[in-house]
Structure 1
Amino acid sequence: MGQVNDTKTALVTGANKGIGFAIAQGLGAIGFTIALGARDGARRQEAVERLDAAGITAFGVPLDVTSDESVAAAASALEQRAGRLDVLVNNAGIAGRADGGRQDPTTLDLDVLRTVLDTNVFGVVRVTNAMLPLLHRADSPRIVNVSSTMGSLALGAGGPLMAAYAPSKSLLNSMTAQYARRLADTPIIVNACCPGFVATDFTGYNAPRAPEQGAAIAIRLATLPDDGPRGGFFDDEGVIPW
Structure 2
Amino acid sequence: MSSSSSSPQTKILMSSNERVAVITGGEKGIGYNIAVQLGQSGLFQHICVTCRDESQVESTVNSLKEKLSPDIKICCSPMELGDTRSHEDLATTLKTLYGKIDVLVNNAGMAYDVDDDDDDDSTPEEEQCSNTLNINFRGTCSLTEELLPLLRQGSDPRIINVVSEQGHLKQLSKERQKQFTADDLTMEKLFDLMEEYENDVQEGNHLDKGWGKSFYGMADLALVAASQVWAHNEPDITVDCCDPGYCQTDMTHQKGNRDPAEGAKCVVKPATMENPPTGAFYANNEIASW
Alignment CA distance shift 1:26-1:211 (3 Å): same
Q: 1:81 maps to which residue? A: 97
Residue 139 (structure 1) aligned with residue 160 (structure 2): no
Residue 149 of structure 1 contacts residue 194 of structure 1 at CA under 8 Å; is this kept in 2?
yes
Distance 1:120 1:173 in 2: 11
Alpha-carbon distance, 1:44 to partner? 2.6
Q: 2:192 maps to which residue? A: none
Q: 2:286 maps to which residue? A: 238
Alignment CA distance shift 1:100-1:216 (3 Å): closer
Alpha-carbon distance, 1:238 to partner? 2.1
Residue 164 of structure 2 contacts residue 244 of structure 2 at CA under 8 Å; is this kept in 1?
yes
The CA deviation string for residues 143-197 of structure 1, in whole angstroms up to 9 with x for no partner, is 00001111112388xxxx962111111111111111111112x2x1000000001
Identity rate, percent: 32
Distance 1:172 1:108 in 2: 23
Larger CA Rg, structure 1 vs 2: 2
Alignment CA distance shift 1:70-1:144 (3 Å): same
Letter in 2 for 1:240: A
Residue 222 (structure 1) aligned with residue 268 (structure 2): no
Ranges in structure 1 where 5+ consecutive residues have no aligned partner = none
Letter in 1 for 2:231: A
Residue 52 (structure 1) aligned with residue 59 (structure 2): no
Residue 111 of structure 2 contacts residue 251 of structure 2 at CA under 8 Å; is this kept in 1?
yes
Alignment CA distance shift 1:228-1:237 (3 Å): closer
Alpha-carbon distance, 1:241 to partner? 1.8
Alpha-carbon distance, 1:8 to partner? 0.9
Distance 1:19 1:5 in 2: 29
Alpha-carbon distance, 1:6 to partner? 7.3
Distance 2:74 2:37 in 1: 12
Letter in 2 for 1:213: E
1:34 aligns to what SS in structure 2? Answer: strand
1:145 aligns to what SS in structure 2? Answer: strand
Deviates more, 1:165-174 or 1:89-98: 89-98
- For the aligned residues, what is the CA RMSD? 2.5
Alpha-carbon distance, 1:5 to partner? 10
Residue 30 (structure 1) aligned with residue 41 (structure 2): yes
Letter in 1 for 2:127: D
Residue 9 of structure 1 contacts residue 34 of structure 1 at CA under 8 Å; is this kept in 2?
yes
Q: 2:238 aligns with which of 150, 170, 189?
A: 189
Q: How does 1:166-185 map to 2 (within 5 A)?
A: 166-184=217-235
How many residues align? The count is 229
Q: 2:79 aligns with which of 63, 76, 86?
A: 63
Q: 2:261 maps to which residue? A: 212
